[in-house]
Amino acid sequence: MAPALIHNDSYHVDHLHKRSLSTTSTKLKNGSTVPKVAELDFNAYKTEQRLVQDIVESLKISGGCVIRNMYKRSTLDSMEAEIRPHLDATGKADGRITSLMLHGTHQRTSISAPQLSTTVTFSVRPGTTAQGLHRDDDIYHTQHPASATHHQGRDTMLCLFVAGKKCTRQNGATRVVPGSHLWDYRAPPPVYPEGDSNPSSGDLDKFFHAEMAPGDAFMMLGGTYHGAGANTTANEERLVYAAFATRGYLRQEENQYLANDLEKIKELPIALQRFAGFGASKPYMGWVEMEEPVRIMNGEDAGDVEFW
Ligand SMILES: O=C(O)CCC(=O)C(=O)O
Ligand SMILES: [Fe+2]
């Protein structure tokens, strides 16, 4: 199951669109600035296009973006009902990319749609220590020089975290370093102060805590430094559903062909089957017997796909 693919079905209600995108930054004591992570309200958007525009702009600026109220309580309840038996069973506490190619004398443009990389449910219990700060796109051995602004092509991953229960600094809300998606990849992450009760510590200013109410979402580029915080509460589970997307022509982090029951995949809409990795990435990536896998799985319903 890819929980993050379920939409808030109150999405198309006729709210007045309100741009809540903030491009301000915070000035640190040493004079440097940290870009602010924008907080968008899902219910304030009339169209998906405007919301996506603001998410993309926010991601380019700070590397992360919070979307309040993205999922309804009823959706979260059904997600939790589905996942809880699996969590209990573990017994643990714890681009769309376009490019121009030459083929003989012809110039051709191929579009490789993004695909799912992995889905994870994080159930983080009291006493869990903080995770080391990292970039998720390390899995692709990514290296970039520093850049003043974002440019298309720098990213290999988009990460979505949805709060199933409240996420607070105390129960380990993800610690994020805004702007680090633009740093030289050889630069280490800032040091998170030991026990963050000391607000005078300079480096604490460099962090954003992805605190969320149930149904809120946090999106982040794979190049942004982050890591789960420590759960220092006595009895709060931090429950987060995460989905990670990557380019259509890169290897998926989780092997979706073995991780899933093919019969269950066939029950999904064909667009989601493709997103899960059962489509082809143009040009000529991922075919079986020169057919798109979804065509073999669904017959004519999947249509005829050209591999360019
Ligand atoms: O649990 C979190 O908040 C973040 C987890 C994470 O970054 C990871 O596992 O890569
Ligand atoms: Fe991570």
Centre of ligand 1 to C-alpha 298, Å, is: 35
Q: Which range of residues forms the domain containing residue 155?
A: 9-254
Ligand 1 pocket member 136 (CB < 6 A): yes
Query: What integer pLDDT is reported at residue 152 of this predicted model?
Result: 87
pLDDT greater than 90 at residue 68: yes
Q: Which residues pair with 240 in a beta bridge?
A: 122, 163
Q: Count how many domains the chain has.
A: 2
Are 44 and 23 part of one and the same domain? yes
Are 163 and 193 part of one and the same domain? yes
Other residues' Cβ atoms within 10 Å of the Cβ of residue 268: 17
Distant-in-sequence contacts of 21-28, Cβ < 8 A, 24+ apart: 21/54, 21/57, 21/58, 23/57, 23/61, 26/205, 28/202, 28/205, 28/206
Are 279 and 172 part of one and the same domain? no
pLDDT greater than 80 at residue 292: yes
Are 207 and 265 part of one and the same domain? no
Are 245 and 300 part of one and the same domain? no
Higher pLDDT, 17 or 140: 140
- Secondary structure, 3-state, 114-171: CEEEEEEEEEECCCCCCCCCECHHHHHCCCCCCCCCCCCCCCCEEEEEEECCCECCCC
- Of all protein residues, the one whose alpha carbon is nearest to atom 6 of ligand 1 is 227
Q: 226, 239, 244, 246: which to mutate for ligand 1, most atoms within 8 A of CB?
A: 226
Centre of ligand 2 to C-alpha 263, Å, is: 30
Q: What are the tens digits of pLDDT across the range 104-118?
A: 678 888 889 999 999
Centre of ligand 2 to C-alpha 81, Å, is: 25
Q: Report the distance separating Cα 55 and Cα 51, nearest Å.
A: 6
What is the pTM (predicted TM-score) of this model? 0.85
Q: Report the distance separating Cα 53 and Cα 220, nearest Å.
A: 15
Are 174 and 294 part of one and the same domain? no
Ligand 1 pocket member 226 (CB < 6 A): yes
Q: What are the tens digits of pLDDT across the range 169-183?
A: 999 999 999 999 999
- The whole-angstrom distance between residue 98's C-alpha and the CA centroid of its chain comes to 21
Q: Report the distance separating Cα 85 and Cα 101, nearest Å.
A: 48
Are 150 and 61 part of one and the same domain? yes
**Final residue of a structural domain among 238, 254, 270:** 254
In a domain, 2, yes or no: no
Reported as a pLDDT band with limits 50, 70 and 90, residue 201 is: low
Ligand 1 pocket member 117 (CB < 6 A): no
Q: Report the distance separating Cα 279 and Cα 271, nearest Å.
A: 9
Are 145 and 287 part of one and the same domain? no
Q: 87, 92, 174, 218: which to mutate for ligand 1, most atoms within 8 A of CB?
A: 174
Are 237 and 302 part of one and the same domain? no
Reported as a pLDDT band with limits 50, 70 and 90, residue 17 is: very low
Centre of ligand 1 to C-alpha 41, Å, is: 23
Are 29 and 121 part of one and the same domain? yes
Q: What are the tens digits of pLDDT across the range 231-289?
A: 999 999 999 999 999 999 999 999 999 999 999 999 999 999 999 999 999 999 999 98
Distant-in-sequence contacts of 22-28, Cβ < 8 A, 24+ apart: 23/57, 23/61, 26/205, 28/202, 28/205, 28/206
Tell which atom from ligand 1 comes closest to the C-alpha of 238: 1
Average pLDDT in the chain: 87
pLDDT greater than 90 at residue 130: yes
